[in-house]
Amino acid sequence: MPDIDLALLKKLREQTGAGVLESKEVLAEADNDLEKAIDLLRKKGQAKALKKQSRATREGVIGNYLHPNKKVATLIEVSCETDFVARTEDFQNFAHDLAMQVAASSPQYLGPEDVPKEEINREKEVALESPDVRGKPEKVVEKIVQGKLEKFFQENCLLKQKFVKDDDKTIEQLLNEAVSKFGENIQIGNFVKFQL
């Protein structure tokens, strides 16, 4: 096991919120490469999140955001497994960040699976009729249509949106990191935006 650079360890923990042991492990695995270590933590976070998805989430908070002009407000339901986690400042800040995301990006759906089939079909039809697919081979057309559909999901599905505070992450990645950090299943429920 290589010697761990303590400055890198501190920086990794500050950027990810990961524990000391987990941070040491990924830094050793990444040979003191900070970017590789962050990627490893993200992958582990996604794996942990998948394992915890079946656990019941009966506690949580309603995150809220009120824009300084008092003309935009949002509410979002964020649930977790225990009241202990729900009461922490970090969890409440996480819920507030999600509410701010809803205010800034106006998602219509939580994830792609929540988009009605009719709307997906309509988006596909619009993509098929666009000038950039005319005369192209069928496989190229499929890729163009799929790319346009992905863009639609990124604009309209909360989990696929870039996080307004860090556009290197999607909300889905942020959620997986929170699951890893808090050690509990975390679910995003209903959300609503009010605007004058």
Residues 11 and 39 in one domain: yes
Residues 80 and 18 in one domain: no
Residues 67 and 102 in one domain: yes
Residues 145 and 165 in one domain: no
- Under the banding of pLDDT at 50, 70 and 90, the label for residue 33 is confident
Region 13-26 average pLDDT: 74
Q: Whole-model pTM? A: 0.70
Q: What is the DSSP string of 120-163?
A: HHHHHHHHHTSGGGTT--HHHHHHHHHHHHHHHHHHHBGGGSEE
Q: What is the DSSP string of 59-115?
A: EEEEEEEE-TTSSEEEEEEEEES-HHHHTSHHHHHHHHHHHHHHHHH--SBSSGGGS
What pLDDT, on a 0 to 100 scale, did the predictor assign at position 91? 95
Residues 85 and 16 in one domain: no
**Number of domains observed in the structure of the chain:** 3
Residues 91 and 164 in one domain: yes
Region 98-119 average pLDDT: 95
The parent domain of residue 148 ranges over 116-155
CATH number at residue 30: 1.10.8.10
Residues 93 and 173 in one domain: yes
Is residue 73 assigned to a domain?
A: yes
pLDDT of residue 56 exceeding 80, the answer is no
Residues 6+ apart with CB under 8 A from 125: none
Residues 31 and 63 in one domain: no
Cβ–Cβ under 8 Å, residues 171 and 158: yes
What pLDDT, on a 0 to 100 scale, did the predictor assign at position 40? 80
Is residue 15 assigned to a domain?
A: yes
Mean pLDDT, the chain, whole residue set:
86
Which amino acid does the sequence have at 119? E
Is residue 1 assigned to a domain?
A: no
Residues 100 and 134 in one domain: no
Cβ–Cβ under 8 Å, residues 188 and 78: yes
pLDDT tens digits along 113-168: 999 999 999 998 888 888 877 778 888 888 888 899 999 999 999 999 999 999 99
Q: List, edge to edge, every strand of the sheet that includes 59-66.
A: 59-66, 72-80, 187-195
Residues 44 and 78 in one domain: no
Percent of the chain with pLDDT over 70: 89
More confident residue, 15 or 121: 121
Q: 181 by DSSP, 3-state: which?
A: helix
